[in-house]
Amino acid sequence: MPDYEMFELGDLALQSGATLRNAKLAYKTYGTLNADKSNVIVYPTWYSGQHYDNEWLIGEGMALDPQKYFIIIPNMLGNGLSSSPSNTPQPYNKARFPNVTFYDNVRAQHQLVTEKFGIEKIALVVGWSMGAGQTYQWAVSYPDMVERILPFCGSAKTSLHNIVFLEGVKAALQADVAWKGGWYDEPPTTGLRAVGRVYAGWGLSQAYYREKVYLQQGYSSLEDFLVEFWEGFFLKKDANNLLTMLWTWQNGNIGNTPGFDGDFEKALAAIKAKAIVMPAEMDLYFPPEDNEYEVKLMPNAEFCAIKSVWGHFAGGGVNPVDTQFIDETLKALLAS
Protein backbone atom coordinates (compact mmCIF):
# COMPACT_ATOMS: atom_id res chain seq x y z
CA MET A 1 0.00 0.00 0.00
CA PRO A 2 1.50 3.35 -1.01
CA ASP A 3 1.41 6.07 1.66
CA TYR A 4 0.43 8.73 -0.87
CA GLU A 5 -2.40 9.65 -3.24
CA MET A 6 -2.32 10.04 -6.99
CA PHE A 7 -4.03 12.95 -8.74
CA GLU A 8 -4.81 12.56 -12.44
CA LEU A 9 -3.70 15.72 -14.22
CA GLY A 10 -5.05 14.66 -17.60
CA ASP A 11 -3.05 15.98 -20.55
CA LEU A 12 -0.40 18.32 -19.21
CA ALA A 13 0.87 20.73 -21.89
CA LEU A 14 4.34 21.88 -20.91
CA GLN A 15 6.23 25.11 -21.59
CA SER A 16 8.57 23.11 -23.82
CA GLY A 17 5.70 22.28 -26.20
CA ALA A 18 5.47 18.61 -25.26
CA THR A 19 2.30 17.20 -23.74
CA LEU A 20 2.39 14.60 -20.99
CA ARG A 21 -0.77 12.59 -21.55
CA ASN A 22 -2.46 11.14 -18.46
CA ALA A 23 0.10 12.94 -16.33
CA LYS A 24 0.10 12.09 -12.64
CA LEU A 25 0.84 14.08 -9.53
CA ALA A 26 1.68 12.07 -6.42
CA TYR A 27 0.96 13.89 -3.17
CA LYS A 28 0.39 13.38 0.49
CA THR A 29 -1.62 15.47 2.92
CA TYR A 30 -1.28 15.94 6.66
CA GLY A 31 -4.00 17.29 8.92
CA THR A 32 -7.52 18.39 8.00
CA LEU A 33 -8.74 21.11 5.70
CA ASN A 34 -10.84 23.45 7.85
CA ALA A 35 -14.29 24.71 6.91
CA ASP A 36 -13.25 28.00 5.36
CA LYS A 37 -10.20 26.39 3.75
CA SER A 38 -7.90 28.93 5.36
CA ASN A 39 -5.34 26.57 6.87
CA VAL A 40 -3.49 25.38 3.77
CA ILE A 41 0.27 24.94 3.51
CA VAL A 42 1.92 23.70 0.32
CA TYR A 43 5.38 22.21 0.75
CA PRO A 44 6.99 21.03 -2.54
CA THR A 45 9.84 18.52 -2.74
CA TRP A 46 13.52 18.98 -3.64
CA TYR A 47 16.03 17.43 -6.08
CA SER A 48 15.18 13.71 -6.05
CA GLY A 49 13.38 13.99 -2.71
CA GLN A 50 9.95 12.41 -2.25
CA HIS A 51 7.12 13.49 0.07
CA TYR A 52 8.36 11.50 3.08
CA ASP A 53 11.74 13.27 2.83
CA ASN A 54 9.93 16.48 3.82
CA GLU A 55 8.28 15.12 6.94
CA TRP A 56 11.03 16.20 9.34
CA LEU A 57 9.58 19.71 9.31
CA ILE A 58 6.04 18.55 10.15
CA GLY A 59 4.88 17.63 13.64
CA GLU A 60 2.74 18.46 16.62
CA GLY A 61 3.99 21.63 18.28
CA MET A 62 5.98 22.58 15.21
CA ALA A 63 5.08 25.40 12.84
CA LEU A 64 3.81 22.86 10.33
CA ASP A 65 1.42 21.30 12.85
CA PRO A 66 -1.12 18.89 11.32
CA GLN A 67 -3.44 19.62 14.27
CA LYS A 68 -3.69 23.15 12.94
CA TYR A 69 -2.84 23.11 9.25
CA PHE A 70 -3.72 21.12 6.18
CA ILE A 71 -0.33 20.45 4.67
CA ILE A 72 0.00 19.23 1.09
CA ILE A 73 3.29 17.82 -0.17
CA PRO A 74 3.19 17.53 -3.97
CA ASN A 75 5.95 15.40 -5.48
CA MET A 76 7.93 17.20 -8.17
CA LEU A 77 7.56 15.95 -11.74
CA GLY A 78 10.51 13.69 -12.47
CA ASN A 79 10.99 12.56 -8.88
CA GLY A 80 9.92 8.98 -9.57
CA LEU A 81 6.44 9.19 -7.99
CA SER A 82 4.79 11.93 -10.04
CA SER A 83 5.13 11.54 -13.83
CA SER A 84 8.79 10.79 -14.50
CA PRO A 85 11.05 9.18 -17.10
CA SER A 86 11.02 6.02 -14.97
CA ASN A 87 7.22 5.59 -14.82
CA THR A 88 5.86 7.15 -18.01
CA PRO A 89 4.75 4.74 -20.74
CA GLN A 90 6.25 5.07 -24.18
CA PRO A 91 6.62 7.11 -26.30
CA TYR A 92 7.48 9.79 -23.67
CA ASN A 93 9.42 7.37 -21.47
CA LYS A 94 13.08 7.27 -20.42
CA ALA A 95 15.34 9.55 -22.47
CA ARG A 96 12.33 10.98 -24.30
CA PHE A 97 10.69 12.43 -21.20
CA PRO A 98 10.21 16.14 -21.92
CA ASN A 99 11.82 19.13 -20.26
CA VAL A 100 9.74 20.39 -17.35
CA THR A 101 9.96 23.84 -15.73
CA PHE A 102 9.12 25.06 -12.25
CA TYR A 103 6.20 26.83 -13.91
CA ASP A 104 4.90 23.50 -15.25
CA ASN A 105 5.29 21.89 -11.84
CA VAL A 106 3.41 24.63 -10.05
CA ARG A 107 0.64 24.70 -12.64
CA ALA A 108 0.12 20.97 -12.00
CA GLN A 109 0.14 21.55 -8.24
CA HIS A 110 -2.37 24.39 -8.64
CA GLN A 111 -4.63 21.99 -10.50
CA LEU A 112 -4.47 19.58 -7.56
CA VAL A 113 -5.07 22.28 -4.98
CA THR A 114 -8.03 23.86 -6.77
CA GLU A 115 -9.71 20.93 -8.55
CA LYS A 116 -9.26 18.31 -5.88
CA PHE A 117 -9.68 20.46 -2.76
CA GLY A 118 -11.39 23.65 -3.98
CA ILE A 119 -8.76 25.75 -2.21
CA GLU A 120 -8.63 29.48 -3.04
CA LYS A 121 -6.06 30.80 -0.56
CA ILE A 122 -2.79 29.30 0.59
CA ALA A 123 -1.50 30.48 3.96
CA LEU A 124 2.07 29.44 3.20
CA VAL A 125 4.22 27.86 0.54
CA VAL A 126 7.55 26.62 1.87
CA GLY A 127 10.33 24.52 0.40
CA TRP A 128 14.01 23.65 0.50
CA SER A 129 16.36 23.88 -2.47
CA MET A 130 14.39 23.05 -5.63
CA GLY A 131 11.39 23.17 -3.29
CA ALA A 132 12.32 26.82 -2.76
CA GLY A 133 12.35 27.27 -6.53
CA GLN A 134 8.76 26.01 -6.65
CA THR A 135 7.89 28.26 -3.70
CA TYR A 136 8.94 31.43 -5.53
CA GLN A 137 7.12 30.14 -8.60
CA TRP A 138 3.87 29.75 -6.65
CA ALA A 139 4.13 33.39 -5.54
CA VAL A 140 4.67 34.58 -9.11
CA SER A 141 2.17 32.31 -10.87
CA TYR A 142 -0.62 32.85 -8.32
CA PRO A 143 0.09 36.14 -6.56
CA ASP A 144 -3.46 36.59 -5.25
CA MET A 145 -3.66 33.10 -3.86
CA VAL A 146 -0.40 32.80 -1.90
CA GLU A 147 -0.30 34.74 1.37
CA ARG A 148 3.19 33.85 2.62
CA ILE A 149 6.29 32.13 1.34
CA LEU A 150 9.43 30.86 2.99
CA PRO A 151 11.90 29.57 0.40
CA PHE A 152 15.02 28.23 2.12
CA CYS A 153 18.39 27.37 0.56
CA GLY A 154 17.15 28.08 -2.93
CA SER A 155 16.74 30.85 -5.46
CA ALA A 156 14.18 32.41 -7.76
CA LYS A 157 16.62 32.15 -10.66
CA THR A 158 19.31 29.52 -10.84
CA SER A 159 22.67 31.30 -10.78
CA LEU A 160 25.28 30.73 -13.46
CA HIS A 161 27.65 29.19 -10.93
CA ASN A 162 24.91 26.80 -9.80
CA ILE A 163 24.33 25.85 -13.45
CA VAL A 164 28.05 25.07 -13.76
CA PHE A 165 28.04 22.93 -10.60
CA LEU A 166 25.17 20.94 -12.13
CA GLU A 167 27.08 20.59 -15.41
CA GLY A 168 29.70 18.70 -13.41
CA VAL A 169 27.08 16.43 -11.90
CA LYS A 170 25.56 15.75 -15.31
CA ALA A 171 28.89 15.14 -17.02
CA ALA A 172 29.94 12.63 -14.34
CA LEU A 173 26.71 10.67 -14.80
CA GLN A 174 26.81 10.76 -18.59
CA ALA A 175 30.49 9.70 -18.68
CA ASP A 176 29.29 6.20 -17.78
CA VAL A 177 28.79 4.22 -21.01
CA ALA A 178 26.10 2.21 -19.19
CA TRP A 179 23.92 5.32 -19.25
CA LYS A 180 23.44 4.64 -23.00
CA GLY A 181 22.05 8.09 -23.75
CA GLY A 182 19.22 7.35 -21.35
CA TRP A 183 18.16 4.04 -22.95
CA TYR A 184 19.62 1.80 -20.25
CA ASP A 185 17.85 -1.25 -18.87
CA GLU A 186 20.36 -1.71 -16.05
CA PRO A 187 21.19 1.38 -13.98
CA PRO A 188 24.49 3.16 -14.75
CA THR A 189 25.88 2.55 -11.29
CA THR A 190 29.39 3.83 -12.02
CA GLY A 191 27.95 7.15 -13.12
CA LEU A 192 25.55 7.31 -10.17
CA ARG A 193 28.42 6.68 -7.76
CA ALA A 194 30.45 9.39 -9.51
CA VAL A 195 27.51 11.78 -9.07
CA GLY A 196 27.64 11.04 -5.35
CA ARG A 197 31.34 11.90 -5.15
CA VAL A 198 30.95 15.07 -7.21
CA TYR A 199 27.99 16.18 -5.10
CA ALA A 200 29.70 15.49 -1.78
CA GLY A 201 31.96 18.54 -1.97
CA TRP A 202 29.09 20.84 -2.87
CA GLY A 203 26.38 19.64 -0.49
CA LEU A 204 28.24 20.51 2.69
CA SER A 205 30.61 23.33 3.56
CA GLN A 206 34.39 23.39 3.92
CA ALA A 207 33.80 23.87 7.66
CA TYR A 208 31.58 20.78 7.87
CA TYR A 209 34.46 18.66 6.62
CA ARG A 210 37.06 20.58 8.65
CA GLU A 211 35.10 19.77 11.81
CA LYS A 212 34.49 16.15 10.68
CA VAL A 213 30.79 16.45 11.43
CA TYR A 214 30.22 13.20 9.52
CA LEU A 215 31.79 11.33 12.47
CA GLN A 216 29.15 12.80 14.79
CA GLN A 217 26.55 11.57 12.33
CA GLY A 218 27.78 8.02 12.79
CA TYR A 219 29.91 7.55 9.69
CA SER A 220 33.16 5.82 10.57
CA SER A 221 35.42 7.78 8.22
CA LEU A 222 35.39 10.23 5.34
CA GLU A 223 35.40 7.31 2.89
CA ASP A 224 32.49 5.68 4.74
CA PHE A 225 30.55 8.95 4.43
CA LEU A 226 31.29 9.08 0.69
CA VAL A 227 30.26 5.47 0.06
CA GLU A 228 27.42 4.92 2.53
CA PHE A 229 25.75 8.30 2.34
CA TRP A 230 26.67 9.85 -1.01
CA GLU A 231 27.04 6.86 -3.32
CA GLY A 232 24.22 5.07 -1.49
CA PHE A 233 21.97 8.11 -1.91
CA PHE A 234 22.33 8.34 -5.69
CA LEU A 235 22.38 4.58 -6.33
CA LYS A 236 18.73 4.61 -5.19
CA LYS A 237 17.81 7.14 -7.87
CA ASP A 238 16.94 6.69 -11.52
CA ALA A 239 19.45 8.38 -13.84
CA ASN A 240 16.87 9.80 -16.26
CA ASN A 241 14.80 11.12 -13.37
CA LEU A 242 17.90 12.87 -12.03
CA LEU A 243 18.56 14.40 -15.44
CA THR A 244 14.97 15.59 -15.79
CA MET A 245 15.03 17.35 -12.43
CA LEU A 246 18.52 18.70 -13.18
CA TRP A 247 17.16 20.36 -16.31
CA THR A 248 14.30 21.86 -14.28
CA TRP A 249 16.83 23.19 -11.77
CA GLN A 250 19.29 24.60 -14.29
CA ASN A 251 16.45 26.39 -16.06
CA GLY A 252 14.89 27.82 -12.93
CA ASN A 253 13.86 31.44 -13.49
CA ILE A 254 10.59 33.02 -12.40
CA GLY A 255 11.16 35.53 -15.19
CA ASN A 256 10.13 32.80 -17.63
CA THR A 257 6.60 32.79 -16.26
CA PRO A 258 4.21 33.73 -19.08
CA GLY A 259 3.62 37.48 -19.01
CA PHE A 260 7.10 38.40 -17.79
CA ASP A 261 8.97 37.79 -21.01
CA GLY A 262 12.11 36.57 -19.23
CA ASP A 263 12.29 39.63 -16.98
CA PHE A 264 13.53 38.22 -13.68
CA GLU A 265 13.45 41.53 -11.82
CA LYS A 266 9.91 42.26 -12.96
CA ALA A 267 8.80 38.86 -11.71
CA LEU A 268 10.43 39.45 -8.31
CA ALA A 269 8.63 42.78 -8.05
CA ALA A 270 5.31 41.08 -8.81
CA ILE A 271 5.44 38.85 -5.73
CA LYS A 272 2.71 39.92 -3.33
CA ALA A 273 3.19 37.30 -0.64
CA LYS A 274 4.84 38.23 2.62
CA ALA A 275 8.18 36.49 2.36
CA ILE A 276 11.07 35.39 4.48
CA VAL A 277 13.96 34.35 2.26
CA MET A 278 16.33 32.05 4.11
CA PRO A 279 19.71 30.99 2.75
CA ALA A 280 22.27 29.02 4.70
CA GLU A 281 25.41 31.04 5.29
CA MET A 282 27.88 28.48 3.95
CA ASP A 283 25.73 27.10 1.13
CA LEU A 284 28.14 26.65 -1.78
CA TYR A 285 25.60 26.65 -4.63
CA PHE A 286 22.83 28.84 -3.25
CA PRO A 287 25.06 31.49 -1.65
CA PRO A 288 23.31 34.20 0.43
CA GLU A 289 24.40 36.96 -1.98
CA ASP A 290 21.89 35.83 -4.60
CA ASN A 291 19.05 35.93 -2.05
CA GLU A 292 20.12 39.38 -0.84
CA TYR A 293 19.67 40.63 -4.37
CA GLU A 294 16.20 39.06 -4.60
CA VAL A 295 15.00 40.49 -1.31
CA LYS A 296 15.88 44.02 -2.43
CA LEU A 297 13.47 43.67 -5.34
CA MET A 298 10.65 41.85 -3.56
CA PRO A 299 8.04 44.26 -2.14
CA ASN A 300 7.38 42.45 1.11
CA ALA A 301 10.39 40.31 1.89
CA GLU A 302 12.84 39.84 4.70
CA PHE A 303 16.27 38.19 4.53
CA CYS A 304 17.14 35.74 7.31
CA ALA A 305 20.15 33.44 7.03
CA ILE A 306 20.76 30.15 8.85
CA LYS A 307 24.09 30.32 10.68
CA SER A 308 25.47 26.84 10.26
CA VAL A 309 28.48 24.85 9.08
CA TRP A 310 26.14 22.45 7.28
CA GLY A 311 26.16 24.36 4.00
CA HIS A 312 23.23 23.49 1.75
CA PHE A 313 22.22 20.68 4.10
CA ALA A 314 21.43 23.19 6.85
CA GLY A 315 18.00 22.96 5.23
CA GLY A 316 17.99 19.19 4.88
CA GLY A 317 16.53 18.35 8.27
CA VAL A 318 19.58 16.42 9.41
CA ASN A 319 20.58 18.53 12.39
CA PRO A 320 18.28 19.71 15.19
CA VAL A 321 19.79 23.18 15.67
CA ASP A 322 19.13 24.30 12.11
CA THR A 323 15.75 22.57 12.08
CA GLN A 324 14.73 24.51 15.18
CA PHE A 325 15.83 27.79 13.60
CA ILE A 326 13.79 27.10 10.47
CA ASP A 327 10.80 26.01 12.54
CA GLU A 328 10.86 29.12 14.74
CA THR A 329 11.11 31.39 11.72
CA LEU A 330 8.17 29.58 10.15
CA LYS A 331 6.16 30.09 13.33
CA ALA A 332 6.87 33.82 13.27
CA LEU A 333 5.91 34.07 9.62
CA LEU A 334 2.67 32.12 10.09
CA ALA A 335 1.75 34.28 13.09
CA SER A 336 2.16 37.48 11.08
Catalytic residues: 129, 283, 312
Residue 176 interacting with its own copies (CB under 8 A): yes
Residue 193 interacting with its own copies (CB under 8 A): yes
Question: Which residue, 112 or 198, has its beta carbon nearer to its own copies?
Answer: 198
Q: Give the x/- contact pattern for its own copies in 205-234, rule: CB under 8 A.
A: xxxxxx-x---------x---x--------
Interface pick for its own copies out of 21, 68, 180, 197 (rule CB under 8 A): 197
User: Count of residues binding its own copies (CB under 8 A)?
Assistant: 41
Residue 161 interacting with its own copies (CB under 8 A): yes
List Cβ neighbours of 164 (8 Å cut-off, separation of 6 or more).
Answer: none
Interface pick for its own copies out of 124, 149, 153, 194 (rule CB under 8 A): 194
Region 263-322 residues binding its own copies, contact defined as CB under 8 A: 284-285, 287, 289-290
What phi-psi label fits residue 80: left (phi over 0), alpha (psi between -120 and 50 degrees) or beta? left
Write the DSSP symbol of residue 318.
-
Interface pick for its own copies out of 24, 28, 148, 170 (rule CB under 8 A): 170
2: number of Cβ within 10 Å: 8
Question: Which residue, 107 or 312, has its beta carbon nearer to its own copies?
Answer: 312
Question: Which residue, 27 or 199, has its beta carbon nearer to its own copies?
Answer: 199
List Cβ neighbours of 317 (8 Å cut-off, separation of 6 or more).
Answer: 53, 56, 57, 128, 323
Annotate 43-96 with DSSP letters as a single string. Answer: ----TT--GGGGGGGB-TTSSB-TTT-EEEEEPPTTSSSSS-TTTPPTTS-GGG
Region 89-148 residues binding its own copies, contact defined as CB under 8 A: none
ω before 44 within 30° of 0 (cis)?
no
The residue among 192, 168, 194, 111 whose CA lies nearest residue 145 is 111
Residue 177 interacting with its own copies (CB under 8 A): yes
Q: For residues 320 and 46, what is the distance between their CA atoms, to the nearest angstrom?
A: 19
Q: For residues 205 and 314, what is the distance between their CA atoms, to the nearest angstrom?
A: 10
Residue 199 interacting with its own copies (CB under 8 A): yes
List residues binding its own copies (CB under 8 A). 159-161, 163-165, 167-168, 170-177, 190-191, 193-194, 196-202, 205-210, 212, 222, 226, 284-285, 287, 289-290
